[in-house]
Structures are given as C-alpha cells and as structure tokens.
C-alpha cells in the first residue's frame, strides 16, 4: 500500500463518520463511555484533547458535585465534552440545570426512557441530546421526543447491560434510523470493528473498557492490572437466582465479590421463604449489596470484594497507554481495515466491479 492509498483510506474514514464528527464537534467520532468513578475530569479531558469526545459519568453526584466536576474538566480542555445523567436520579432536573449553567454542549440521558419534561429541559438549554435505545421502536420514539442522536449499546458492554448483542442491535437499528446520527457501543476494542459499524451506517462509536487503563485514568493500579490480565470470557453478567427478585444484569470480571453476591441472594431467598424477611426488604438487601463496591474497586483497589465492571473487549486491553495513543491506534486500525477491503476488491473481483466501487468511494 502506498502513502497515497493510506491518505485516501483516511479520507474515506473521515467521510464515513463525518455526521458524527459534526454532531460532536470533534476530529474523531469516538465517544468515551461514561464509567462511574473512571470517567472523571482527567480521562474525559484527555479523550477530548486527543480528538475524541469525553463524557463525564455523573452517576450519583449531586448538583453541586457535578458543577464542580464540569468546571474542573473545562479547566483541562477547551474541546467539546458531554455529561451522562441517569434518568432515575432524584435530582435529574437540577443536574440538567447544572449542565446548562456551565454551558455543557452535549447531554446524554441513560438508564431508562427519559420523561418528556427532562427532554424539554435539555432542549431548552441548547445542548445536544443523546439517548440510549435498546430497540428500534424506542429509538424512533426518542427521535420523535427530540433526541439529536441515538446510542445503541449491546450486552458485550461493561456495567448494566441489556439482553441483545451489539451486532444484532446494529442490524436491527442502523438500516432504519436515518433521521439522526447513531453511535454504536458494546464490545468495541479494535479499529476494524469501528470501520465495520461505520460501513453499516453508524455515525460513530462509543468505547469505555478500552480507556480504563489509560495513563490519565485515575483507576487504582490493581484495578488496571485486573483488566490487563483478563480475557473476554472473564467479563460475565451477574446471575439472578429467583425471578421474584429481579436483578438488572451487570457485566464485570468474576471475583470473590460476584460469588459473595450469589451467596447473598441464596441467604435472602432462604429467609424470605421462612417468612423472616418481607419481599420488599429482601429486594432491598439484594439491591444494596453492590452499593459502594465499584468505588472500592476503582479507587481503593479492592479487586477481590469490589465490583470490576468491564466489557468483553477487556481482552484487548493489554497494557497501559496514553489516551492519545489509544485513540491514534484505533484510528490507524480502522484505516488498515478499510485499506484491506479496498485491496481485496481490486485483487479478487475478476469483473472489477467490487474493486471499482470501493476505489470510487475512497477516491470520491
């Protein structure tokens, strides 16, 4: 491949994700996934400064804490970044107001279908609104409500997950959602996957796990080493033992904490069956088990009893790198993938039709 071929492939990549870049205001349509305790000012600013789009994970912050985090991030970067807000947060409206006062350009609403009131509050602020859609019908509904972009995230992702894989969601949604840009997330750790989803019609991607071991990430060294040692099969969803006590699946690296969670469920079920625990109290005990567990792992380095939330792409995290290096590597891999497909078209299509099509796309 010549330097000219590589330049053409890079131009092709720029065109494939041009719509996403315009929406985000970035050089690269790569969003950082909002990971509680990890996606804070340092990593968010580093992703944005590297040409991507960092996203603050608000999590359980109160409005004053979020205001301080936004201000601190703005002190580290002049580039665009967003804030991820959980729709079930009891102070959601006040959190939106905090974003408005700090002139945050993009707000991501996650966790559940947002209310019309929350959507209106974001739209009134002038910020771009991005929402998660686990199905085509919900994506269409969110667009009608006013979403400026959709994020589809498959079950390969870390943290709270749905039941459908990224590849299936992409096939279900990308051909049918053209009104707004769509970003694909869940299990993406290599630039070849980025190129594939862009060619399917995505406007960009979102990655979380891949950035955990960035130098700029404040995650504890033991937390990072757990990621570096892990394989894809080590990131497993939590198990629900009894349908009477629903557990939203969380994908994380298996450790003593995940095994203790199973024992907690068994203990609660036994006491409920014996009549010594009400159903409401039993559900609360199960839900509260992981309270603080993620912080213990990410910040304190408790990799045995804490929660090691990770996506299946963790197997592609092999060392600590700077955020800039990660972004550059992903882009280079995407360009290589586009180059390989163009070369295959030229060399193996005896009629020359496929190769000509690929070349015309790259040279247009």
Residue range 253-264, pLDDT digits in tens: 999 999 988 998
pLDDT at position 355 is 43
Q: How far is CA 81 from the centre of its chain?
A: 14
Which CATH number applies to 3-211+322-348? 3.20.20.70
Asked if 204 and 194 count as a contact pair (C-beta separation under 8 A), the reply is no
* Residue 311 predicted with pLDDT over 50: yes
Give pLDDT tens digits for 113-136: 999 999 999 999 999 999 999 999
Is residue 323 within a helix (H) or strand (E), and if so which, with residue range? helix 323-348
CA distance 89 to 69: 17
* Average pLDDT rounded to a whole number, residues 68-74: 98
- 275 phi/psi in degrees, rounded to 5: 85, 10
* Average pLDDT rounded to a whole number, residues 93-108: 98
Residue identified by tokens 């609104």 is 129
Lowest model confidence (mean pLDDT) among 21-35, 77-91, 121-135, 272-286: 272-286
Average pLDDT over the chain, rounded to whole? 93
- Report the candidate in 141, 63, 148, 59 with the shortest Cα–Cα distance to residue 99: 63
**Cα-based torsion angle of the residue sequence 235, 239, 245, 247 in order, rounded to the nearest 10 degrees:** 10
β 54-57/30-32 pair status: unpaired
- Grouping H, G, I as helix, E, B as strand and the rest as coil, residue 210 is helix
Confidence at 344, pLDDT banded by 50, 70, 90: low
What DSSP character marks residue 79?
A: S
* Residue 354 predicted with pLDDT over 70: no
pLDDT at position 241 is 86
Close Cβ partners of 211 (under 8 Å, ≥ 6 residues apart): 32, 33, 35, 38, 43, 47, 217, 323, 326
Give pLDDT tens digits for 168-213: 999 999 999 999 999 999 999 999 999 999 999 999 999 999 999 9
Give the up-direction half-sphere exposure of residue 324: CA atoms within 13 A in the CB hemisphere: 2
* Residue 293 predicted with pLDDT over 80: yes
pLDDT at position 343 is 66
Question: pLDDT above 90 covers what percent of the chain?
Answer: 82
Q: b/e map of 10-25 (b: 16 or more CB within 10 Å)? A: bebbeebbebbbebbe
Lowest model confidence (mean pLDDT) among 22-36, 139-153, 244-258: 244-258
pLDDT at position 248 is 79
Label residue 353 exposed, middle or buried (CB < 10 Å: 0-12, 13-18, 19+). exposed
pLDDT at position 352 is 46
Confidence at 364, pLDDT banded by 50, 70, 90: very low
* Residue 48 predicted with pLDDT over 60: yes
Torsional sign, CA 330, 332, 336, 339: positive
* Average pLDDT rounded to a whole number, residues 161-169: 96
Confidence at 2, pLDDT banded by 50, 70, 90: confident
pLDDT at position 359 is 41
Q: How far is CA 292 from the centre of its chain?
A: 21
* Average pLDDT rounded to a whole number, residues 92-115: 97
What DSSP character marks residue 277?
A: S
- Grouping H, G, I as helix, E, B as strand and the rest as coil, residue 176 is helix
CA distance 95 to 189: 31
- Report the candidate in 151, 186, 195, 187 with the shortest Cα–Cα distance to residue 331: 195
Domain boundary assignment for the chain? 3-211+322-348, 221-315
* Residue 244 predicted with pLDDT over 90: no
Confidence at 291, pLDDT banded by 50, 70, 90: confident
């Amino acid at each position: 491949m010549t330097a000219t071929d590589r330049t053409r492939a890079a131009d092709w990549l720029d065109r494939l994700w041009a719509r996403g870049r315009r929406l985000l205001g970035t050089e690269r349509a790569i969003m950082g996934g909002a990971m509680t305790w990890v996606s804070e000012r340092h990593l968010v600013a580093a992703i944005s400064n590297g040409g991507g789009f960092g996203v603050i994970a608000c999590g359980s912050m109160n409005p004053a804490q979020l205001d301080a985090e936004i201000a601190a991030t703005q002190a580290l970067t002049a580039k665009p970044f967003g804030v991820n807000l959980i729709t079930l947060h009891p102070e959601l409206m006040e959190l939106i107001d905090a974003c408005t006062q700090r002139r945050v350009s993009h707000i991501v609403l996650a966790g559940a279908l947002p209310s019309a009131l929350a959507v209106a509050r974001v739209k009134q602020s002038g910020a771009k609104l991005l929402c998660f859609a686990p199905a085509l019908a919900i994506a269409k509904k969110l667009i009608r409500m006013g979403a400026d972009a959709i994020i589809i995230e498959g079950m390969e992702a870390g943290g709270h997950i749905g039941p459908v894989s990224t590849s299936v969601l992409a096939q279900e949604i990308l051909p049918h959602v053209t009104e707004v840009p769509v970003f694909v997330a869940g299990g993406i750790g290599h630039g070849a996957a980025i190129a594939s989803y862009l060619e399917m019609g995505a406007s960009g991607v979102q990655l979380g796990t891949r950035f955990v071991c960035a130098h700029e990430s404040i995650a504890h060294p033991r937390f990072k080493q757990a990621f570096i040692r892990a394989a894809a099969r080590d990131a497993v969803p939590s198990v629900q033992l009894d349908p009477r006590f629903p557990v939203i699946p969380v994908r994380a690296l298996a450790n003593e904490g995940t095994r203790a969670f199973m024992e907690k469920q068994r203990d609660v079920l036994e006491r409920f069956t014996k009549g010594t625990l009400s159903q409401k109290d039993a559900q609360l005990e199960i839900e509260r088990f992981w309270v603080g567990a993620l912080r213990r792992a990410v910040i304190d380095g408790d990799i045995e009893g804490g929660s090691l939330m990770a996506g299946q792409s963790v197997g592609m995290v092999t060392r600590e790198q700077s955020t800039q290096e990660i972004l550059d590597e992903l882009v280079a891999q995407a360009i290589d993938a586009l180059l390989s497909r163009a070369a295959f078209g030229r060399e193996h299509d005896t009629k020359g039709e496929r190769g000509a099509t690929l070349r015309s796309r790259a040279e247009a």
